[in-house]
Structures are given as C-alpha cells and as structure tokens.
Amino acid sequence: MFVFCILILLLSLTELKGAVEDVLPSLQQQKVSVFILSEESTTPGIESLNGKIHQASDQPLPVSLRSNVTMKSIAVYIYTSGTTGLPKAAVITQEWVWASAFFHICGVNSEDVLYLNLPLYHSSGFLMGLTGALGKGITIVLGRKFSASQFWDDCRKHNVTVIQYIGEVLRYLCNTAQKDSDRDHKVRLAFGNGARADTWKEFLKRFGAIRICECYGATEGNVSSVIYVGKVGAIGREMFIHKKLFPYELIQYDTEIEKPVRVSQGFCVPAPKGATGLFVTKITRIAPFNGYARNPQQTDKKKLRDVFKKDIYFNSGDLLMVDQDNFVYFQDRIGDTFRWKGENVATTEVSVSLFLSADHEGRIGMAAVKLEEAKQLECDKIYSHVVCYLPSYARPRFLRIQDSLEVTGTFKQLKVELAGEGFNPAIVQDPLYFLDKNEKTYVPMTQEMYNAIISKHVRL
C-alpha cells in the first residue's frame, strides 16, 4: 500500500529539522513525503511547502479526489499515550468528524475564541479541539505549549472565551501565585477531561463562574460522554437514549486476579448502582472498535467476549461508578487499583490524599513524590497524614523522591517504568523511604532493609 504523509514543521527550523533529518533515509524508503513550512529547504528530500501553497489554486477541490472516501475510510493514526504499556497507533476513521459534536453540546458558538495549547498529536487537541473548532468556524489561538504562568495573559491578550484542558492542567493553573487579575478575563467555558473534583471546585472559586464541561472517552474507544450540567466531579450522566444507541455496562471486576467476575455460565455480572465497575462498551455497527494499526494482538486484547451472551465488548480499562442520580464518576484504571490484605485499593484515593497533604502526587505501593524547591521531606508529618486519612491497607509503604515527575504529552504519569524499577536502592538512584510502623514514620530505605523485606524478615 502506498503511504503518503505530510510532515509539516510549524516551529523554527532548528527545533525539529535535525530530528527529521536523522530518520529521513528511513522515511524515503517508506515513500513518505516530508515538507517544511518555509520559503525554501536546504535539505535534499525535504521540500518547501510555502511555494506550493502560493501556487495552489483557490478553487474548491474536485469531488473526484475524495470519491472513494467513506466514513469508514482511515483518516489518521493517533498514538495512545502509553501509560499502560508501549504506545499503539489507534486507527481513526473519517467518523471522527463526530468529535466536533462536543462543541455543539457544550454550547460553543461561532463568535467564540478558543485557546488551544495542547499537543496536536493527541486526540483531545487534534480531534476535539482543532477540528472541532474548524467545524464550528471559530477563531483558534494556538499556543506553542502549555504555560501556567502565561496562560491567563494569553487569554486576555486574545479575548479568549473558550479554553480546553486535559489531565492536570486546571490544577497547574490553581497552583500559580494568586493575582488580583485572576478573574480579569472573558473565558466563559472550559471543556476537557481529567478534572478532579477538588481541583474543579478550586478552579471555579479562584477564576470565576466558568462553565466546565467534563468529557470522557478514549482515543480508540467507541463510546464517549460529556457532562454539561456542571455536576462537579462527574464525567457524564446515564441516559436511556444514549445507552440504547451505544450499549455499555459497568461489570464487576476482581482486582486480585485482574479479570471480570463471571458466574457459572461464564457470563459477566453487572455492577450495582453506587458500586465501582469495569466500563465496557458493546462493539456494534454504529459503535465500532477499529483497533490498532498492524497490531492484531493488541487489538484483540481490548476485546472482551461473552459478556452477557455471545457478544463482544470493548474493554475500556477504566473503573467507573454510577450514583443513585445516574451521574457517572471516574474511579481508577485497571492496574492502578489492586488488592492488598483483602481490600481493594484505588491509587487515585492515595494520590488525592497526598496532594491534600503537601501538593504531592503518587501511586499506592510506592508513591512518587516531587518536593517543592528548598523543601525537605517531613517524614513524621507524612506518616501522620496517611495514617489519619487512609486505611491501613491503602497507605503507601514506600516513597520515592524525584527531581521531576515524568509525564506524557498529555500530563499522564508514566507509571509502568516506575513500577518496573521497584524499590531496590541498588537500582533506584532516587532517595527511597519505607513506612516503619514501629517508629511511626518513614525511614530511609537501605540495602539491608531491602534484603530483609525480600527475605520476608520484615513484614509489610
């Protein structure tokens, strides 16, 4: 199959040109055409795009150029963030145009100005943000990258009315120094995904009555949702028509064996209202799962068979909860929740607790911690805090102090690498601490202590 790809470098030549030149021979072998957004190119194999733009006709493109394109045709490949393994190229068909529907649901109109500083190689920035705005015909202010300190200045400068967020963006904004101008802006709407309830409240308290539309979905997923009624912490609301068109369920999940609970007939068990369950979505004609490019093994792993009968569902890998009022809440991800001493431990609970203590982030088992500049780890204080706010089975047994917390381009923590490195001080160069119940504090991890834990002379 002939592959034609346009790689446009929107930044300065020195930033990306060298990286492309390193892999240019490989790209040429794959018949990939590379263009650079400049008046000329001095590198053989990289063509200037500006000249071709100037020469292009301003007439509409012939319909014949897309006569063979259907809604099922491949539009783009978008790599997953890789937080639970290696990134995979999700197949996105022309049906992605429905992503622009989020703008309509959230009430965006043609007079709005969108501030977009998210990575455009990700579905949030590209599909929901960029193409959604183009579909609405609104003005887009593109930022080179996210900057918490520059964010509101940019909004004021460009009369921004709509902003998009992902992950921890809202918290980063809340963590900036307070200013008298915090509410001096025209932003009326923020839409995105990953806003925690505590951050959501703090953001509104600090920056004013901004309407927040929290969305839920996955790049390769076949069902998504949006909460447009302002229910703090919710990611959607269960509605009959939506569920009828796009069948989905929350099913009971055993975190100890990391598999759905199944009855004697082999079928799954629905999770009751108010209980956490694995979110699975039925694969149908109008809700297809297109899988990963040239990766049938990983594609098949995301399919859950024989859920309630001889059917196939998409396994989101997310644990959600529906309350008595039918609001849906994100709880955690599979792998981030596990069983310890007979109890299910949600890492989100631990992360939030540590955040409330001292702006720390982390994951249960071992919590990766970044200290503020010139701050020292207050072991006694942290111990007292986790004992007070977390049950014994959920308290992180280890702390790892890092200079920085590595995240993906969408601000998700890279947990797999940390989990793989474990807590051996001979391998991990960062300072490590161990929860000592006898001393009622966290103590520095030594090689002797590690050996004692491994040999089971010290009980966890």
Q: Which of 333, 368, 396 is the last residue of a domain?
A: 333
Stretch 367-392: mean pLDDT, rounded? 86
Is 383 in the same domain as 413?
A: yes
Q: Which of 284, 304, 333 is the last residue of a domain?
A: 333
Residue 252: is its pLDDT beyond 50? yes
> In 10 A of CB 277, how many CB atoms?
23
Q: Looking at per-residue confidence, does 407 or 267 come out higher?
A: 267
Stretch 160-172: mean pLDDT, rounded? 93
The sign one gets for the Cα dihedral 312, 318, 319, 322 is negative
Stretch 372-386: mean pLDDT, rounded? 88
Determine the longest span between alpha carbons in the chain, in angstroms: 78
Domain that holds residue 194: 96-333
**For helices 347-358 and 197-207, angle between their N-to-C axes, nearest 10 degrees:** 40
pLDDT of residue 279: 97
Q: Looking at per-residue confidence, does 2 or 345 come out higher?
A: 345
Is 323 in the same domain as 385?
A: no
Q: Which residue is it, tokens 């240019």?
A: 24
Q: Looking at per-residue confidence, does 346 or 460 come out higher?
A: 460
Structural contact between residues 316 and 277, judged by C-beta atoms closer than 8 angstroms: no
Residue type, 226: V
Residue 10: is its pLDDT beyond 60? no
* DSSP structure string for 292-314: BTT-HHHHHHTEEE-SSSS-EEE
Is 130 in the same domain as 266?
A: yes
pLDDT of residue 412: 62
Is 300 in the same domain as 425?
A: no
Residue 374: is its pLDDT beyond 80? no
Q: How far apart are CA 10 and CA 14, in angstroms?
A: 11
Structural contact between residues 155 and 197, judged by C-beta atoms closer than 8 angstroms: no
Is 261 in the same domain as 116?
A: yes
Q: Is residue 32, in this structure, part of any structural domain at all?
A: no
Residue 30: is its pLDDT beyond 70? yes
Q: Is residue 36, in this structure, part of any structural domain at all?
A: no
Is 264 in the same domain as 389?
A: no
Residue 333: is its pLDDT beyond 60? yes
Is 403 in the same domain as 289?
A: no
Q: What is the CATH number of the domain that holds 283?
A: 3.40.50.12780
Percentage, residues of the chain above pLDDT 70: 86
Give every CB contact of residue 428 below 8 A, 6+ residues apart in sequence: 400, 421, 422
Instruction: Report how many domains make up the chain.
Output: 2
Is 431 in the same domain as 362?
A: yes
pLDDT of residue 346: 55
Stretch 24-35: mean pLDDT, rounded? 89
Residue 247: is its pLDDT beyond 70? yes
Lowest-pLDDT range of 166-170, 240-244, 271-275, 390-394: 390-394
Split at pLDDT 50, 70, 90, the class of 308 is: very high
**If you average pLDDT over every residue of the chain, what do you get?**
86
User: Which ranges in 107-227 belong to alpha helices (H)?
Assistant: 123, 132-136, 151-157, 169-174, 197-207
Is 273 in the same domain as 128?
A: yes
Residue 337: is its pLDDT beyond 60? no
Q: Looking at per-residue confidence, does 109 or 7 come out higher?
A: 109
> In 10 A of CB 329, how many CB atoms?
18
Percentage, residues of the chain above pLDDT 90: 52
Split at pLDDT 50, 70, 90, the class of 347 is: low
Is 132 in the same domain as 206?
A: yes
Q: How far apart are CA 361 and CA 108, in angstroms?
A: 33
**Extended beta strands in 63-168, E state:** 74-79, 89-93, 113-116, 139-142, 162-166
Split at pLDDT 50, 70, 90, the class of 330 is: very high
Q: Is residue 459, in this structure, part of any structural domain at all?
A: no
Stretch 257-266: mean pLDDT, rounded? 91
- Of 286, 283, 280, the C-alpha closest to 267 is 280
Q: Is residue 155, in this structure, part of any structural domain at all?
A: yes
Q: Looking at per-residue confidence, does 140 or 96 come out higher?
A: 140
Query: How many Cα atoms within 13 Å fall on the side-chain side of residue 85?
Result: 7
Q: Is residue 73, in this structure, part of any structural domain at all?
A: no
Q: What is the CATH number of the domain that holds 404?
A: 3.30.300
Residue 17: is its pLDDT beyond 60? yes
Render pLDDT for 58-112 as a digit per residue (tens, 0 to 9): 898 899 988 999 999 999 999 886 655 677 899 999 988 777 788 889 999 999 9
* DSSP structure string for 166-177: ETTHHHHHHTSP
Give every CB contact of residue 10 below 8 A, 6+ residues apart in sequence: 37
Is 172 in the same domain as 236?
A: yes
pLDDT of residue 421: 80
Is 240 in the same domain as 363?
A: no
Residue 188: is its pLDDT beyond 70? yes
Q: Is residue 364, in this structure, part of any structural domain at all?
A: yes
pLDDT of residue 6: 38
Q: Is residue 310, in this structure, part of any structural domain at all?
A: yes
Q: Is residue 47, in this structure, part of any structural domain at all?
A: no
Q: Which of 333, 367, 386 is the last residue of a domain?
A: 333
